[in-house]
């Protein structure tokens, strides 16, 4: 299927980065088995909750800062170079697709980006190191230096609106795809998981590659329950031999 594809879209979730040492959130022992996710409305409502959200974010960020692209990221970059894949839509905030050499304009980040923070009122960008310093020095959650508004990492929380442009780009890419491959996502988070559904509605073949069953396996033309790295490395190796 990949060999025939000329405009495949790959949709990735936290599972594609576990081989890089970044744990996913839902797997047994994952982050959310220890910490209940903080909803956007809770983040807005209380400074204590914002401080807790920042504490968790800064912890995860340390792991992300140490991580490098893994076999799956590298294989996808190769499939793009070979002309089979046109874009990557990712739910991840770790920046590893870009670090693997894929051009930024081929990557659509629908759950935002964890490398910086933004004021929720005026949109001013703030650096995460600055946030960390403010919390360290004052013990308070950071406020915008421009307007005093609430500062949040530029990632999308539960209950927060999806980024409009990125969602529009993701839908357009999905509708243009001749193959849609979901990798390392439980496909339980909507509206993100609506993209493979949209692909199928558009009669595009759907492949799901995930360690365990997902919510959309029944829709897929092919389901591979396996680790993504070895499977994708086998795909590129086979294409290399052709």
Give the tokens for residue 25: 């959130």
Distance in angstroms (rounded) separating the CA atoms of residues 194 and 9? 14
Min dist. Cβ of residue 24 to ligand NAD (A): 3
A 10 A CB-CB count for 181 gives: 30
Quick one: 124 or 224, whose CB is closer to ligand NAD? 224
Contact pick of 169, 178, 217, 227 for ligand NAD (by CB under 6 A): 227
Quick one: 26 or 56, whose CB is closer to ligand NAD? 26
Q: x/- binding map, residues 87-106, to ligand NAD, per CB under 6 A?
A: ----xxxx------------
Contact pick of 10, 15, 174, 195 for ligand NAD (by CB under 6 A): 15
Residues designated as active site: 111
What is the total residue count of the chain?
242
- Paired sense of beta strands 112-119 and 125-127, if any: antiparallel
Q: Does 27 bind ligand NAD (CB under 6 A)?
A: yes
Q: Which single residue brings its beta carbon nearest to ligand NAD?
A: 15
**Contact assessment for residue 14 and residue 184, using Cβ atoms and an 8 Å cutoff:** yes
A 10 A CB-CB count for 12 gives: 25
Quick one: 19 or 166, whose CB is closer to ligand NAD? 19
Q: Which residue stretch of 49-57, 123-131, 165-173, 178-186 sits at the interface with ligand NAD (rule: CB under 6 A)?
A: 178-186
Q: Does 14 bind ligand NAD (CB under 6 A)?
A: yes
Give the tokens for residue 234: 């086998």
Helix, strand, coil % over all residues of the chain, rounded to 5: 45, 20, 40
DSSP H or E stretch at residue 85? strand 85-90
Distance in angstroms (rounded) separating the CA atoms of residues 203 and 197? 10
Quick one: 13 or 196, whose CB is closer to ligand NAD? 13
Q: Does 111 bind ligand NAD (CB under 6 A)?
A: yes
Name the residues that contact ligand NAD, by CB under 6 A.
Answer: 13-15, 17-19, 22, 24-27, 30, 91-94, 111, 184-186, 188-189, 210-212, 227-228
């Amino acid at each position: 299927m990949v060999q025939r594809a000329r405009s495949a879209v790959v949709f990735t979730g936290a599972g594609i980065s576990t081989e890089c040492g970044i744990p996913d959130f839902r797997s047994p022992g994952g982050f959310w088995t220890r910490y209940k996710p903080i909803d956007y409305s809770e983040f807005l409502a209380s400074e204590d909750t914002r401080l807790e959200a920042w504490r968790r974010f800064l912890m995860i960020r340390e792991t992300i800062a140490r991580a490098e692209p893994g076999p799956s990221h590298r294989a996808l970059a190769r499939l793009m170079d070979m002309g089979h894949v046109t874009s990557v839509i990712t739910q991840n905030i770790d920046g590893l697709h870009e670090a693997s050499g894929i051009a930024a304009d081929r990557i659509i980040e629908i759950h935002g980006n964890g490398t910086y923070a933004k004021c929720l009122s005026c949109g001013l960008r703030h650096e995460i190191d600055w946030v960390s310093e403010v919390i360290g020095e004052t013990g308070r959650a950071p406020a915008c230096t421009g307007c005093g508004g609430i500062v949040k990492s530029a990632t999308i929380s539960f209950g927060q609106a999806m980024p409009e442009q990125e969602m529009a780009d993701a839908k357009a890419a999905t509708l243009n795809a001749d193959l849609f491959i979901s990798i390392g996502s439980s496909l339980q988070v909507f509206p993100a998981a609506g993209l493979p559904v949209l692909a199928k509605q558009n009669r595009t073949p759907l492949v799901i590659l995930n360690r365990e069953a997902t919510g959309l396996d029944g829709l897929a033309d092919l389901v591979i329950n396996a680790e993504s790295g070895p499977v994708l490395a086998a795909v590129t190796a086979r294409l290399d031999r052709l």
